[in-house]
Structure 1
Amino acid sequence: MNINLSGRKAIVTGSTAGIGRATAEGLARAGASVVINGRGNARVNEAVRQMQQAFPGNNISGIAADLASPEGSEALIAQVPDADILVNNAGTAYIRDYNGIEDIAKIPDEDWLGLFQLNVMSGVRLSRHYLPRMAGRGWGRVVFVSSESAVNIPKEMIDYGVSKTAQLAVSRGLAEAVAGTGVTVNAVLPGPTRSEILGNFMAKQAEANGTTREEAEQDFLKAMRSTTLIQRFATTDEVANMIVYVCSEQASATSGAALRVDGGVVRFLA
Structure 2
Amino acid sequence: MQIDLAGRTAIVTGSTGGIGLAIAKGLAGCGARVVVNGRRAPAVERAVAAITDAGGQAVGFVGDLGTADGCAALVAAHPACDILINNLGIFEPRDFFDTPDADWTRFFEVNVMSGVRLSRAYLPGMEKGDWGRVIFISSESALNIPVEMIHYGFSKTAQVAVARGLAERMAGTNVTVNSVLPGPTLSEGLADMLRPEQERTHKPLAEVAADFVMTHRPSSIIRRAATVEEVANMVVYLSSPQASATTGAAVRVDGGVLSTI
TM tier, shorter chain? over 0.9
Q: Which residue of 1 aligns with 2:113?
A: 121
Q: Identify the residue that residue 256 of structure 1 maps to in structure 2.
A: 248
Aligned position for 1:83: 81
Whole-angstrom distance in 2 between the partners of 1:59 and 1:217? 33
User: What amino acid maps onto 2:228 in structure 1?
Assistant: T
User: How far 1:210 sits from its partner (Å)?
Assistant: 4.5
Indicate the SS of the match to 1:155. coil
Q: Report deviation, 1:214.
A: 3.0
Check if 1:239 corresponds to 2:231.
yes
Please tell me whether residue 27 in structure 1 is matched to residue 30 in structure 2.
no
Amino acid at match of 2:165: G
Question: TM-score normalized by structure 1?
Answer: 0.94
Q: Which runs of 5+ in 1 are unaligned?
A: 97-102
TM-score normalised per structure 2: 0.97
Where structure 2 has 5 or more consecutive residues not aligned to the other structure, the ranges are none
Deviation at 1:208, TM superposition (A): 3.8
Whole-Å Cα distance in 1 between the matches of residues 207 and 33 of structure 2? 39
Task: Please give the per-residue CA displacement for 1:18-39, whole angstroms capped at 9, x wherever unaligned.
Answer: 0000000100111111000011
DSSP-derived class of the 1:144 partner:
strand
Q: CA deviation at 1:123?
A: 0.3
Q: SS of 2:148's equivalent?
A: helix
Which of structure 1's runs of 4+ aligned residues deviate more than 6 A?
none
**What does residue 174 of structure 1 align with?**
166
Alignment match, 2:176: 184
Amino acid at match of 1:92: I
Q: Is the 8 A contact 2:142 2:155 kept in 1?
A: yes
1:99 equivalent in structure 2: none
- Residues 1:151 and 2:150 aligned together: no
| Aligned-residue offset at 1:209 | 4.5
* % identical equivalent positions: 55
Which residue does 1:142 correspond to in 2? 134
- Per-residue CA distance 1:117-144 (angstroms, 9 max, x = gap): 0000000000000001100000000000
Distance across 1 between alignment mates of 2:159 and 2:133: 16
Q: Distance in 1 between matches of 2:213 and 2:24?
A: 28
Deviations 1:128-183 (A, max 9, x none): 00001100000000000000000000000101000000000000000000111110
